[in-house]
Structure 1
Amino acid sequence: MNKAMMTLPYLSHYPQSVQQQVAKLVEHDTLGTWLQHKYSGLHKVSNDAELRDYVMAIKNKYLKKTQPLSKIAYDNKMHVVNHALGLHTFVSRVQGAKLKSKNELRVSSLFKQTPCAFLNMIVVHELAHLKEKEHNKAFYKLCEHMLPSYHQVEFDVRVYLTEFDRSGNVFLSEQR
């Protein structure tokens, strides 16, 4: 395994041949260009209010009967640690004689300036956790129902993270 292969932690579960193709793009310093060519144009969801509207539109289309979301926000403190791009939390607590629960959906601020497909994939992933808590077959089937190209976009987000770690925000220079 060459040096470039050692720097692909987001792709470690993909076949060696796929990792080698990405490593070659990294080696030739063309990974960012490849991503920009494949995904032109950034989404315009730039604040928490817009993110809430965006998430709720998807939730209302595909998951009307799931629990409500009490908070939807970009999270500046969320780093891509343990490969978390977004976060769905469910909190239950006893308040007096009642059991209160709330669901929150947070998206890493890293995705404020990325293509719409990337934000869509992360939101779909986190919304799927409202119905399926585990990353199992039913979970991924639900993701594909909401976003038919889910697996390809998830892969491309991992490629983006590889390039982001290497050189910074790939899409930063694009005009909004």
Structure 2
Amino acid sequence: MLEKQTLSKYLLSKYPQAHTIVNDKALRSFVMAIKNQYLKKSSPLSKIQFDDKIHVINNALGLHTFVSRVQGNKLKSKNEIRIATVFKSAPEEFLEMIVVHELAHLKEKEHNKAFYQLCCHMMPDYHQIELDLRIYLTQLECIGRIYH
């Protein structure tokens, strides 16, 4: 596909347009809707935001961080989800796949069988979307943006 320059045609045929979630407030609403549907009893999220410091091609698509600190005589913890800013102009399915992946880390810290079963529970076509997202990242790196 790369050699024949058909990546964008493939992607646009399956995912014709980008989502409209372009700020942190909208992202928080999007993430919380998924969390409340599938993971109501999981730990709360203290921060949800787009992050322009995440370098997608070499690093990660999003980050889930768990921060513990002692405050007085109590152990306080915070869960944060950060999504790479490049996904502000991507199809909603790709954003949802990243969110599902990061939310799954609330229950399963490791990328094990239980982790991927949880991802597929929240998004049945998780693996296909992940493959297509990797195709999208190849498009971005080798040819350029197709969604604006």
Say yes or no: TM over 0.5.
Answer: yes
Shift >4 Å, 4+ stretches: none
- Rg (Cα) greater in structure: 1
TM-score with structure 2 setting the length: 0.97
Match of 1:156 among 132, 135, 138: 132
Could you tell me how far 1:79 is from its partner in structure 2?
0.8
Indicate the structure with greater helix content.
1
Could you tell me how far 1:148 is from its partner in structure 2?
0.3
Task: Give, in whole Å, the separation in 2 of the partners of 1:80 and 1:115.
Answer: 16
Kept in 2: contact 1:160–1:170 (CA 8 A): no
Kept in 2: contact 1:74–1:107 (CA 8 A): yes
Structure 2 unpaired stretches of 5+ = none
Count matched residues: 148
1:6-25 deviation per Cα after TM superposition (whole angstroms, max 9, x unaligned):
xxxxxxxxxxxxxxxxxxx1
Kept in 2: contact 1:32–1:170 (CA 8 A): yes
2:67 aligned with 1:73: no
Task: Give, in whole Å, the separation in 2 of the partners of 1:81 and 1:30.
Answer: 20
Give the residue type in structure 2 aligned to 1:171: Y
Could you tell me how far 1:83 is from its partner in structure 2?
4.4
Cα RMSD between the aligned structures?
1.0
Give the residue type in structure 2 aligned to 1:60: N
In structure 1, what is the equivalent of residue 27 of structure 2? 51
Match of 2:37 among 49, 54, 61: 61
Could you tell me how far 1:170 is from its partner in structure 2?
2.0
What percentage of residue pairs aligned between the two structures are identical?
A: 62
Kept in 2: contact 1:75–1:107 (CA 8 A): yes
2:68 aligned with 1:92: yes
